Amino acid sequence: MPPLADYRMRVRYYETDQMGIVHHSNYVRWMEEARIHALNEAGVSLRSMEAEGIQIPVTAVSCEYRKSARFDDAVRIEICPVRYNGVRMELAYRILREETGELLAECRSSHCFLDTRTGHPAGLKRRAPKYHRILEELFSNNDDKDG
């Protein structure tokens, strides 16, 4: 199973603030863009899961900012699977300036799976076995990046 796909984007003008750098809240949005892209590439489509009645809310998020991203910077986001147990999922992110390879931020996000109709936790093993198998394999290969 290949690792999760990198996500590439270019900093948009409206993401800057009056310090002349990207406003820190946008990194949380970039994490979402990167996560949805990478899971989709691996065969886990958020659009399809939602159509099947499963939501994936964020239960926790953290970012450590190292260097500032600036308007028009090409940015690359690496995602590592950290933990998945059928009802919860955790991912780690490294946000890099493409041109120089500089580390801009290190981030984490935690998620659960909910049944849209009831609002209760949805165990993917029974509720969506196809996605469960993909996620189990994706997350089994992580070499303890969490340690």
The site for a second copy (CB under 8 A) is made up of 12-14, 16-21, 23-26, 28-29, 32-33, 36, 46-47, 50, 55, 57-65, 68, 71-72
Nearest CB to a second copy, comparing residues 68 and 142:
68
79 CA to centre of own chain: 7
Nearest CB to a second copy, comparing residues 12 and 140:
12
Minimum Å distance from CB 141 to a second copy?
26
Minimum Å distance from CB 125 to a second copy?
23
Nearest CB to a second copy, comparing residues 12 and 133:
12
Taking CA 25 as the corner, what is the angle to CA 41 and CA 93, rounded to the nearest 5 degrees? 40
Nearest CB to a second copy, comparing residues 105 and 135:
105
Minimum Å distance from CB 81 to a second copy?
19
Minimum Å distance from CB 10 to a second copy?
8
Q: E strands within the chain?
A: 7-10, 54-55, 58-65, 74-84, 88-97, 103-112, 114-115
Q: Is 74 exposed, middle or buried (0-12, 13-18, 19+ CB in 10 A)?
A: middle
Q: Is 105 exposed, middle or buried (0-12, 13-18, 19+ CB in 10 A)?
A: buried
Nearest CB to a second copy, comparing residues 65 and 121:
65
C-alpha separations of 65 from 27, 84, 98, 108 in Å: 9, 25, 16, 12
